Amino acid sequence: MTLTDYIALSVFALLWTGYNWATDGRVQLSRVSLTRLMMDHRRRWILNSLTRDLKMIDSQIVAGLQAGTAFFASTTIFALGGCFALLGATDQVQSIMNDLPYVFHGGRSSFELKVGGLACLFAYSFFKFAWSYRLFNYCSILMGGIPMMSDMVHDRPGAERAAERAIQVNILAAKNFNAGLRSIFLSIGYLGWFVSPYVFMALTVFVIFVLARRQFYSEARAALLDDTNS
C-alpha cells in the first residue's frame, strides 16, 4: 500500500458518502434527486390504496419489488463466492497480471487486501438487499392491515396512520435497496484498483458522474417532475 493507494481509497469513500447524502436529501441541493421524487410517488401510491378496496394491485407491486430485491441478493452471494475463489487462485492471477502492461504490481499481500475489500463491498450489498427484502415483506403485511373503505368511514385518522406506517417501511426498504445497488455500481470503479490507484480514482469518478447524471439530469427524473418540483 502506497500513499497513492490511501488517497485513492479516501477519494472512493468520500465520493460514495457524498453521493449518498446528495441523493437521500441529507444535503440540500437546488435539484431534487430521482430517489427523492420516487419517495413522493411511493407515498401517493399507498395513500391511493385508501380510496379502493381492490388490494390485489398493491400486493402485486410489492411482490415485484421483492422479486427484484431477491435477485440482487442472490447475485451478490455469487459475487462474494467468486471473491473467495479468487483468493484461492492468487498465484495464478498474479502470474497473469505480471504479463500485462501498465499494471501496478503491489505484491501478493496487496492483491489479497484488494480482493478482501471487494468481498466487503459485496457483503455490504447482500446485507442491504436482504434487509430490504425483509422490509418489503413487512410492508406487505402492513398494507394488508389498511382498512377497507367501508371501515375507513368510521375511523379515517386510524386508516391514515396505518397507511403512513406502510409508507415509512416501504421508503426504508427502498433506501436499503438503493444502498445495495450503489455498492454494486461502485464495485466497478473499485476494480480499477487492481490496475493502479490512478485508474481506481478515474473509474470511481466516472461511475459517480454517471449515477449523478441519472439522479439529477436524466429523462426519468424529468418524467417524474410535476409543477411543484424543480
User: How confident is the model at residue 167, as a pLDDT?
Assistant: 93
pTM value is 0.86
Q: Residues 139, 62: contact at Cβ < 8 Å?
A: yes
The domain segmentation of the chain, as residue ranges, is 3-15+33-50+57-224
Question: pLDDT means per 10 residues in the chain (230 residues)?
Answer: 87 93 80 90 89 82 91 92 80 63 65 88 95 94 84 81 92 94 93 86 94 91 70
